Amino acid sequence: MNLEQLRAFVEVAQVGNFTRAAERLHLAQPSLSRQITTLEQDLGTELFHRARRGSTLTVAGESLLPLARRMLADADSVRRELAELAGLQRGRVRLGATPTLCVSLVAEVFAAFHAAHPGIELHLSENGSRRLLEELGAGELDLALITTSHGVATDRFTVAPLLVEELVVVSSHAVPPVTAHDAISLAEVAALPQIVFSPTYDLRATTDAAFRAAGVTPAAVVEGAEMDAVLRFVERGLGVAIVPAMVLIERPGLRSVRLREPTLTRTISVARPADIAPAAAVRVLQRTIARTAADLAAAAADTMRLADAVDDVDRGGDRSSSP
């Protein structure tokens, strides 16, 4: 048994097809097939049910898969540790993040980390928090930036909360404000035309639950959009959206208003496997994430204060006099 065979086995298990797995591994299909056959001979059992339409794992293959993933992850960890003896001159860090964080926090983190350590490869997986934790547990990621409305209860991961972020209602700066007051209720938001996120977004689950708890149903004009599209649609005046305050940074085409009680928040946390000591590059990236998150939170607060001041002018009066 060798690592190349295990890597071939894991790839076939993931895609369910020998030809596609060979393409992804940049191998000739006969070469990959020989690796799998040799592995099966070494183990004395078949790992796949082979059929014309694809290949599925046998019971033995299902037992081997998590072990193979962990062995490959351990091998990668050894390589990274040895590479880091040269002082973070080369290596790789695999980060997972939710889509809403990829358009704000991750971009700033990668820029800062790459400027300081250009020899370290950065790999990104963009998924929902639940899927990211699955990838982390399978040894496919070193760190995961997740968002939750509550804590993560598990002993498999070390989870460090970074900040609690407010969710706000955004609308286009090209149209009049959605309210004359300094906050808006969920019932009022539900009556406005809305740009609604894809169901795969953690943010969508949070807002859907809040609307259900308030006993209202939002009036969606566009549904199923990704973060970049949502913000562009709002900027064009198609409707409003509930988004994290952090995405307002450097978005002059948007105005925001806070939600009246109950306010909505989400917790941004960084997670890593509890049973694997992080490599040096991973530790440095985690520190970069924490520092950048704090900086962006401060910038988001400044943006909100500036937006409040501008909206006071737009509405022709001091908000403090509003009921």
* 314 and 170 co-located in one domain: yes
Residue 65 has pLDDT above 70, yes or no: yes
Q: What pLDDT shows up at residue 15?
A: 92
Domain that holds residue 6: 1-66
Q: What pLDDT shows up at residue 318?
A: 43
Q: What is the CATH number of the domain that holds 189?
A: 3.40.190.290
Q: What pLDDT shows up at residue 199?
A: 86
Whether residue 314 is contained in a domain is answered as: yes
Whether residue 90 is contained in a domain is answered as: no
- Are the beta carbons of 122 and 114 closer than 8 angstroms? yes
What are the tens digits of pLDDT across the range 172-215? Answer: 999 999 998 889 999 999 999 999 998 888 888 889 999 999 99
* 172 and 57 co-located in one domain: no
What are the tens digits of pLDDT across the range 151-168? Answer: 565 678 999 899 888 899
Q: Which among 10, 43, 66 is the end of a domain?
A: 66
Residue 306 has pLDDT above 60, yes or no: no
- Which carries the bigger pLDDT value, residue 217 or residue 249? 217
The rounded mean pLDDT for the chain is 86
Whether residue 147 is contained in a domain is answered as: no
Whether residue 42 is contained in a domain is answered as: yes
Q: How many domains does the chain have?
A: 2
Residue 18 has pLDDT above 60, yes or no: yes
* 203 and 313 co-located in one domain: yes
What is the pTM assigned to this prediction? 0.64
| C-alpha neighbours within 13 Å on the C-beta side of residue 274 | 10
pLDDT > 70: what percent of the chain? 88
* 178 and 58 co-located in one domain: no
